[in-house]
Amino acid sequence: MIQKKSERLDMIRHSTAHVMAAAVTKLFKGTKVAIGPAIDYGFYYDFELPRPITDEDLLHIEKEMRKIVNGNHDFTKEVVTRDAALALFKDQPFKTELINELPADEEISIYRSGDFVDLCRGPHVQNTKEINAQSFKLTKIAGAYWRGDEKRPMLTRIYGTAWEKPADLKEYLAMLEDAEKRDHRKLGKSLGLFHLDEENPGQIFWHPNGWALYLLVQNYVREKIKADGYLEVKTPFVMPQSLWERSGHWAKYRENMFITESEKRLFALKPMNCPGHIEIFKQGIKSYRDLPLRLAEFGSCTRNEPSGSLHGILRVRGFVQDDAHIFCTEAQISSEVKKFCALLKNMYADFGFAEDSILVKFSTRPEKRVGDDATWDRAEKALADACKDAGLEYEVAEGEGAFYGPKLEFTLIDSLGREWQCGTIQVDYQLPSKERLNAEYIGEDNQKHNPVMLHRAALGSLERFIGILIEHYAGAFPPWLSPLQAVVIPVAPTFNDYAEKTAKDLAAQGLRVKADIDTDRMNAKIRKYQEQRIPYQLIVGEKEAANGSLAVRIHHGDQKTMTTEAFVNFIKEKIATHAITAM
């Protein structure tokens, strides 16, 4: 597996970003420099350039970068005064803005390397010779608003990747090439799964094959959570401002909400389902004997994501979560988190993600939050204790929790070694509290108490998870997930009747199958369904019609002759065990 990042790689990549900025400012006079961090698998730098650049320009920049690297320039750090920094970057408005925002007592450091100087905290490699001139490459050009604000200048972002050895770069570029072939947007179109419309950004039009896949995923989740003690509910898509004010979303999340008005009242399209679930909990008197109460919803949510951040079906404005909220006592947090983790791992395994391909992150209180520190202390301790009881290993992500509570995030590693954050569980003392939505139950002491609410989702957004599955499997879904599991192909038109009868018999067994009796030749049909990644092609001719058998062609596998009954048993076993391969 390709190593995504390390302390050493981060230094190399950050230093290479400086080298790129040095090359760009030399080649394009008048360039205004913004920021250039190391990121997973590489780096980027944002510039305001005197003219648009092309992929051909990237080659010239790379050439200049290699000259700089081979110049053996030291990276030297200097600590300067604010006035000195402002004078040094007087012609660089983005750097000047950053300097002016630094706290008065914060150290201001710059790094020099050759003729280039940059405002930077570091760290860097000691000398450019530590950057292998054959181990970096500029990969793409994109647009990015300064500081992510669409009201600020649009900058040119140049992405690159850097590695310790040329072999690592070669492996990474091969992975990128494979990822390009697996791009869910391309496969979504070629496999007839969905389409996106520029006139309606962030919304998905599901086609019959795609909707069949969607329902397979949704119904699988529905069966799993029902068996795990969840009660499915449905809450309104539009809810009033007053509810969002009491929940805290109006103050903390309003910029991400779509607002509408009716009869001089403001409403919001729900960005999440939690307030609605609390409203359901509050109907009738609840006892401690009713807890834990697990309410689940395939909740349709809408979030006003910036158009520049949208990406296929992986980042959209309209989506459905496999959402649920567990109302419990503080003493039940540990057992409920442990129970959820077991469910989540079981579900991920069925989708083809083994336990060793799951990473866990513990996200603590953010700067922008509701509730006092004492309550946050209790919430973070409760979640940490639950992780210990569940035997979870995790890394801590300081300040990345939800505004109402700490959370665990579950990240999947796909077949190319890429990471996708999917599941989450969050401990929330805030929303059910008297100060917020005031959910109550009667305790053993016959007094009213506020429950703790656990927000949890195993897959997260169904749309995003399906996009991940498309790329993970390159569109060749396991038999249990494939919208069309088998196609019956006659070797000649004289066997069309037998092909149709076979397809009808298999469909009666609950299989998703069709017969192709179009006028195309058999070999053309075989190629078509191979390209469409159909798990099984069932070829029928004179011999098969005579003895009731099938010539079974397995996608990316062998061909074998089976009786119809044997094939039904074979594929049903694959479906029942959630087998990953069709072979």
Of 176, 281, 248, 225, the C-alpha closest to 423 is 225
Is residue 311 flagged as an active site residue? no
State whether residue 260 is helix, strand or coil.
strand
- 182, 294, 365, 455: which one is catalytic? 455
Is residue 274 flagged as an active site residue? yes
Q: Helices then strands (H, E): number in the chain?
A: 17, 28
Q: Look up residue 468 and give its amino acid.
A: I
Residue with tokens 């058999």: 522
- 157, 249, 325, 449: which one is catalytic? 325
Spatial distance between the Cα atoms of 191 and 53, rounded to a whole number of angstroms: 34
Farthest-apart Cα atoms in the chain, separation: 92
Is residue 184 flagged as an active site residue? no
The answer to whether 311 is a known ligand-binding residue is: no
Spatial distance between the Cα atoms of 262 and 241, rounded to a whole number of angstroms: 11
The answer to whether 455 is a known ligand-binding residue is: yes
Residues 6+ apart with CB under 8 A from 229: 294
Is residue 323 flagged as an active site residue? yes
Spatial distance between the Cα atoms of 1 and 420, rounded to a whole number of angstroms: 15
Contact 310, 332 (CB under 8 A): no
Of 274, 270, 256, the C-alpha closest to 404 is 274
Of 295, 263, 289, 324, the C-alpha closest to 458 is 324
Residue with tokens 């509408």: 260
Q: Which tokens belong to 581?
A: 């391969």
Q: Pairing mode, if any, of strands 231-232 and 293-302?
A: parallel
Is residue 18 flagged as an active site residue? no
Crossing angle of helices 208-227 and 333-350, in 10° steps, is 140
Is residue 321 flagged as an active site residue? yes
Spatial distance between the Cα atoms of 209 and 195, rounded to a whole number of angstroms: 12
Active-site annotation, residues: 274, 303, 321, 323, 325, 407, 455
Annotated binding site for Zn(2+): 274, 325, 455
